Amino acid sequence: MKIAGVLETCVYVSDLEAAKGFYQGLLGLELFAEQPGRHLFFRVGPGVFLVFNPVATRQETLLPPHGAEGSVHVCFRVPAADLQSWAERLLSQGYRIAWAEWTAGRSLYVRDPAGNLVELAPAAIWGLEQGDGG
């Protein structure tokens, strides 16, 4: 038996509309499912990125209740050549960014409207092949 990869990951936010504006509007993720007051589901490459309102998901009855408090972290794979363009786009919309230098490249950090730490980075920082996402 072997785990083949990450199928989904998530962050928790209280303001789904602000999150929708950030992830769909600014980052351009494809929204494929939405339940007002509960969640936003986005397609990201071969996986799924979930945005939940923890007030709703802590009340689950069919699934195990879940939620998180405080900032969590997600990293989206992007081509290294696109990092500067992402930085300019985020800065032009009033977001503060930070850079990290790694042995095999660099990555860009920004906080979403809920304060979650969003990283944009090429796969090479983890020694992975570039593929379509850099």
Is the whole-model pTM more than 0.85? yes
CA distance 11 to 3: 22
Exposed, middle or buried by CB within 10 Å (0-12, 13-18, 19+), for 44?
middle
Torsion of CA 46, 15, 122, 3, to 10 degrees: -40
Q: How do the domains of the chain map onto residue ranges?
A: 8-60+69-126
What pLDDT, in 10s, does the model give residues 13-51?
999 999 999 999 999 999 999 999 999 999 999 999 999
Which among 74, 71, 58 is positioned nearest to 114, based on CA atoms?
71
* Pairing between β-strand 47-52 and β-strand 39-44 as defined by DSSP bridges: antiparallel
What pLDDT, in 10s, does the model give residues 75-107?
999 999 999 999 999 999 999 999 999 999 999
- pLDDT at residue 56 tops 70: yes
Placement of tokens 């936003």 in the chain: 40
CA distance 31 to 128: 27
Q: Which architecture, in CATH terms, is 8-60+69-126?
A: Roll (3.10)
Residues contacting 4, CB < 8 A, separation 6+: none
